Structure 1
């Protein structure tokens, strides 16, 4: 299935239906007519969603500990798909999506787990993703619907990758993303409830992304994150609907084990409806995990607007 390209100058968006309806390019026309990626551009022939500019996470977000969870009195086993033994980032990104509507500036795609016998989730569900591009913004709607005959747990989110540098060779992206607290974690799995700390304070100050080696989940995300490339004179503002009240910030280093190692040329700001390992934490009695219980035919939906402005 060919990729979909939407054009609304100066913005352009390309989506790959075969790779989980992932974004492979979201770019802006630069001062000399060249195109610059507002999200990390995928290679010409990506082989998995993690190489893309952004992918969806559904029907869970980030990690499920030991690739297993308890829900409504039943223990469910998943296939681990990460070296640490967790099940990570859901399943909707791992299969082709079907195009149901298309215009020069919009597209609607559908994932139905019934079409994928190997879907790594014990409940039947569908996802819908709708993209709409305008000259100054991208709107992305994502939903998860329970198609099963029993209640199911659900969460959703987005995993965009942003470049540290846009037009200007020696700039450093600034990040402003107010949050209420950070979850203490062991191998990205929360061990205690979220509390304010120095990382939360930094996210509220429009500071350089820096080289902090974060892979952390935050609670109380206010729904707006701003990334500014000051040397390029471009700002991206990510406005999220209320369901997306958690945020993962990922600022990896070239060598994760070496605090002095240089950062990778990209970072992630991931709006999510739930904390990492939410299903298990909810089963243990934690409050405010973001886990939704969807009754049959019930839907969880969220929208992200990416507003682009020249400074």
Structure 2
């Protein structure tokens, strides 16, 4: 998508000195979050590795692109061989449902290659010192397993200062050579990470750029993937289950019990 097309489809929200840009035509991705004029997310210079995108209807890798629902085995496109990764929402054009100065909601209907019908909704609520994101998946027909989460690309360096990460996890999912959890829980290990951590009391991770900015990422969900293996960015990804969770820890979406999750990023200036 060209920069001119992005300009024509983007939705800009403001609150105080915070400015959020969302592009529903580009997977309902956050294209930009500026706080006091400072961009805190990686910009679109490296494929899909920028901004912040929703992971739906699954998070992280699904083993070999296959998942089982009862006696049915479904095949998803293998977009990160040998696995399917991060859902279909980031590759979909969403519809703007409601928007005002500081909040907006967007939807899209699940369709092929996802094998079940349903609707996804994402809400954005911006205040001068926080952003709350909410994702929901609902079905009007068949029940199905699903996951939701967020994949932000925070800039590693702001104002000449590299970010530090602070969090306390109850466990780390042991990662196999195929980048999937082995099913064993181990004591948290030092980074660098491309790993899933368990936080039974809810996700709580603080990113600090000394003398510049602090952002605290929280969620009632107990799973977070931390990825800091790239030079330019770090990722803190709250989600409703671990990678390959469609197979190992499915959350069932039913007509009377939709799947909904939220995360809040709260910030304060340090300079």
TM-score scaled by length of structure 2: 0.91
Tell me which moved more, 265-274 or 244-253: 244-253
CA contact (8 A) 1:26 1:41 kept: no
Q: How far is 1:278 from its partner?
A: 1.2
Tell me which moved more, 218-227 or 156-165: 218-227
Two-structure CA RMSD over aligned residues (Å): 1.7
Q: Which has the higher strand share?
A: 2
Q: How far is 1:69 from its partner?
A: 1.1
Q: How far is 1:122 from its partner?
A: 0.8
Q: Distance in 2 between matches of 1:305 and 1:184?
A: 27
Q: Distance in 2 between matches of 1:146 and 1:81?
A: 25
Counterpart residue number, 1:10: 17
Q: 2:121 aligned with 1:140, yes or no?
A: no
Q: How far is 1:55 from its partner?
A: 0.3
SS in 2 for 1:183: strand
Q: 2:268 aligned with 1:309, yes or no?
A: yes
Q: 1:275 aligns with which of 226, 236, 242?
A: 242
Counterpart residue number, 2:5: none
Counterpart residue number, 1:79: 77
> Could you list the per-position Cα deviations for residues 11-51 of structure 1 after superposition, in whole angstroms to 9, with x for gaps in the alignment?
1100011111100000112xxxxx221222335xx8x6x24
Q: 1:251 aligns with which of 199, 215, 228?
A: 228
Counterpart residue number, 2:120: 127
Q: Distance in 2 between matches of 1:111 and 1:51?
A: 22
SS in 2 for 1:194: strand
Counterpart residue number, 2:3: none
Counterpart residue number, 1:203: none
What stretches of structure 1 of length at least 5 have no aligned partner?
Answer: 30-34, 200-211, 254-263, 282-288
Please show how residues 141-220 of structure 1 align to structure 2 within 5 Å: 141-147=134-140, 149-167=141-159, 169=160, 171-186=161-176, 187-199=178-190, 212-220=191-199
> Could you list the per-position Cα deviations for residues 273-297 of structure 1 after superposition, in whole angstroms to 9, with x for gaps in the alignment?
111111222xxxxxxx3x2112235
Number of residue pairs the alignment of both structures matches = 261
CA contact (8 A) 2:156 2:162 kept: yes
Q: Which runs of 4+ in 1 moved over 4 A?
A: none
Q: Distance in 2 between matches of 1:93 and 1:297?
A: 26
What stretches of structure 2 of length at least 5 have no aligned partner?
Answer: 1-7
